[in-house]
Each structure stands twice: as structure tokens, then as C-alpha cells.
Amino acid sequence: MIIHGHEVKGSVLDSETRCVHYHKKIDRIAIKFYCCNTYYPCYECHEEHGCGKHKVWPKEQFDKKAILCGACGYELTIHEYLHCRSNCPNCQASFNPGCNLHRHLYFEVEG
């Protein structure tokens, strides 16, 4: 599905990047996976439809744009995303704070 000019793969349900796995109102980001340079709404979508070679973003590349706000289409750098307090810095749309529980699946972080 094309969302704000970006292809988002996986089990996408709507134009704000919600998927069959995460579809609450605040579930509105997609993550560009390091291993395949492709946006997916979540790690489960990547497991089901992705490249099969899962790799997390290394810390030295946290300045790369890898998170797509489903509300406005703004692309956040990883550093921006990790420090945004679950709100888009461009449009202030709320993101699901529970995504922090899964950040180790996307980004190189300590334990």
C-alpha cells in the first residue's frame, strides 16, 4: 500500500499504517527495516511478509530516516523517534507508547 508517497508492505489495513496486528487509533507508524530497507507496520508484518533476514538498525545509523508517521507522512530519524515521547514532532499525532516494548526488535539498544 502507498501511504504518504511511501510503500508500506505487510498486512496493512488503512492509510495511517495500522495493520492486522496493531490497529488501535494510536498505532500509526511504520518502521523501515534495516535488512530490507522497506517499511512495515510492525515486526509481525515483517516476519510474515518480509525478507527473512531480520537485522536491527545499528546505533551508528540512528541519524537515518526510518519511521513513518501514518498521520502526516513525516519521516523521523531513529534518534528523533526514540526521543519523541510518542508524538510526531511534525504534526503532534500520538504514537502508541507500547511500541517502546519492541524497540529492541528494530534498533540496536541495550538490554
Each residue's pLDDT tens digit, 61-91: 999 999 999 999 999 999 999 999 999 999 9
For residue 23, what pLDDT is reported?
Answer: 95
Q: Write the CB contacts of 53 (distance below 8 Å, at least 6 apart in sequence).
A: 35, 36
Name the grid cell of 82.
Answer: 526514540
Question: Alpha-carbon distance 35 to 18, whole Å?
Answer: 21
What is the model's pTM?
0.95
Q: Give 3-24 pLDDT, tens digit per residue.
A: 999 999 999 999 999 999 999 9
Strands (E), the chain: 2-3, 6-7, 29-33, 38-40, 65-69, 75-77
Mean pLDDT of the chain: 96
Give me the residue spans of the domains in the chain.
2-105
